[in-house]
Amino acid sequence: MGAIDLEEKETMKWLNKGHEFDRYAEKLVENFYQKGKKIYLFGAGIIGGEIARVIEKTGCFAGFIDNSREKQGFGVNGTEVLPLEKYLENGSRGIIVITVDTKTIPAIESQLTKAGLIKEKDFYLHREFMEQIFPVLSVYVNHQMYVELAQICLTERCTLKCKKCAHACYAVDAKGEDMSLDMAKKSADAFFSYVDIVKEFVLIGGEPFLYRELGEMITYIGKKYRHQIVMFAITTNGTILPKQIILDLCKEYQVTIHVSNYSAAIPSLEKKYEQLKDTLEKNHVPYTFNDQELSWLDYEFEAGSRKRTEEELTQVFDRCHTPCREIRGSRYYYCVMARSVSDNLNMGVGQEDYLELEGMGQEDQKILLEFHHGFSEKGYLEMCNHCNGKDAEKNPIPAAEQAK
């Protein structure tokens, strides 16, 4: 997620700020207009449903195509589902996005190709479309900024002490100061002034259920910005049962609770997870609960400067593609790990590595689009000099091991 692959670019350093995507956008926009600014989703299942909820907000969603006769007969959530033949008969076609699981993609690609449709002109795969095409079309055609994922880190305090916490929360005093409610509200205001649609907006920590004003924050975002968010979520380590007022607000504003599963490292959590799932179900709060996390990536932020040259830093950043953007006050950070580790370990590295949203105008939307997808004045972050980046994948470590 994140970086748009501009083949001719060697660096993400801003050379033509506000116009970096102009050439890339030109052909996409022309094609999109030729297709009547319409997007059809091939696959009316879970993936299609999620993407439809994003695209509906732009007014470009034209409907589903699906091979299932049942779906063709009954439609999905009140939307008509076309067989491919009917779509092809229809003179004014749009762009098709294949919204099926990875296993089924080759069969649908082959069906579309046999019907004479061309990849990356008539149809796209959903992942590349949502990460690389839709954000650009959204800004260049609709003047709407679309973001896949963004977060507010409400507190860096946590109930666990994971040795390799990627935010270095193990170093944060249990009595330390959280983000103030004013600052948290300002963060939401700044973000939603410039971002029209976010697929997933997450309140994170540390452990966000420790945040005393969590209820106020859910209500604030729920009332003012819920319509701009497809999935509003909180990520928890599952050690705290939320209070009834929080559960009620999560139900009211449809906040999904993502529960991390660290029971492989901490077996005693299993009982807590059962209690939490039971409570969420009884209160009709949506949640996700993954399989046990067994391994993590070790970025080794604490291992000191790697003394990389500028060229090496550019390469580390270009290969990384972290999806984790953070809004903090009016500062938009490309990498939440870089910001939080530097703060929590008092490293003072990369103090200028953010985009200041205050004072930006709507005409600066393309600058935000570029920053979100990796452009910056330097083309990397100072913290990339203290990080394994993509190479962290080579040395997985056990997940959630606790410090003594």
Residues found near ligand SF4 in the complex (CB under 6 A) = 158, 160-162, 165, 167, 169-170, 205-207, 237, 299, 316-317, 320, 322, 335, 337-338, 381, 383-384, 387, 389, 400
Q: How far is the CB of 372 from ligand SF4 (least distance, A)?
A: 13
Q: How far is the CB of 17 from ligand SF4 (least distance, A)?
A: 20
Of 66 and 298, nearer to ligand SF4 (C-beta) is 298
Residue in the structure block whose two tokens are 């077996």? 267
Smallest separation, CB 166 to ligand SF4 (Å): 7
Q: Is 234:184 a contact under the CB 8 Å cutoff?
A: no
CA–CA separation, 307 and 380 (whole Å): 14
Shortest Cβ 160–ligand SF4 spacing (Å): 4
CB atoms within 10 A of CB 314: 19
Shorter beta-carbon distance to ligand SF4: residue 150 or 158: 158
Q: What whole-number distance in Å separates Cα of residue 65 and Cα of residue 74? A: 13
Identify which of 383, 299, 303 has the alpha carbon closest to the alpha carbon of residue 343: 383
Q: Which is nearer to ligand SF4, 47 or 387 (CB)?
A: 387
Q: Which is nearer to ligand SF4, 63 or 208 (CB)?
A: 208
CB of 64 to ligand SF4, least distance (A): 37
At its nearest, how many Å lie between ligand SF4 and the CB of residue 1? 13
Asked if 376 contacts 14 with a C-beta cutoff of 8 angstroms, the reply is yes
| Cβ distance to ligand SF4 smaller for residue 186 or 321 | 321
Longest dimension (CA), the chain: 67
Beta-carbon count within 10 A of 103 CB: 7
Cα separation of 210 and 328, whole Å? Answer: 18
* Closest CB to ligand SF4 among residues 196, 318: 318
Q: Give CA–CA dist 74/136, Å, rounded.
A: 34
Are the beta carbons of 240 and 207 closer than 8 angstroms? yes
Helix boundaries (H) for 205-320: 214-225, 244-252, 269-282, 310-320
333 contacts: CB under 8 Å, gap ≥ 6: 325, 326, 327, 339, 353, 354
**Residue 160 or 197: which CB sits closer to ligand SF4?**
160
Nearer to ligand SF4, 12 or 52 (CB): 12
Shortest reach from residue 398's CB to ligand SF4, in Å? 13
What's the min distance (Å) between Cβ of 182 and ligand SF4?
23
Integer Cα distance of 273 and 237 in angstroms: 9
**Identity of the residue, 160 or 355, whose beta carbon is nearer to ligand SF4 in the bound complex:** 160
Q: What is the dihedral of CA 91, 78, 282, 232, to 10 degrees?
A: 40
User: Residue 214 Cβ, how far from ligand SF4 at the closest point, in Å?
Assistant: 15
Q: Which of 288, 272, 193, 296 is nearest to 233 (CA)?
A: 288
Residues composing the chain: 404
Token pair in block for residue 27: 């052909």
**Cβ atoms within 10 Å, residue 366:** 20
What are the percentages of helix, strand and coil residues in the chain, rounded to 5? Answer: 40, 15, 40
Query: Could you tell me the smallest distance in angstroms from the CB atom of residue 181 to ligand SF4?
Result: 21
Tokens of 351: 């103090």
Q: Which is nearer to ligand SF4, 181 or 392 (CB)?
A: 392
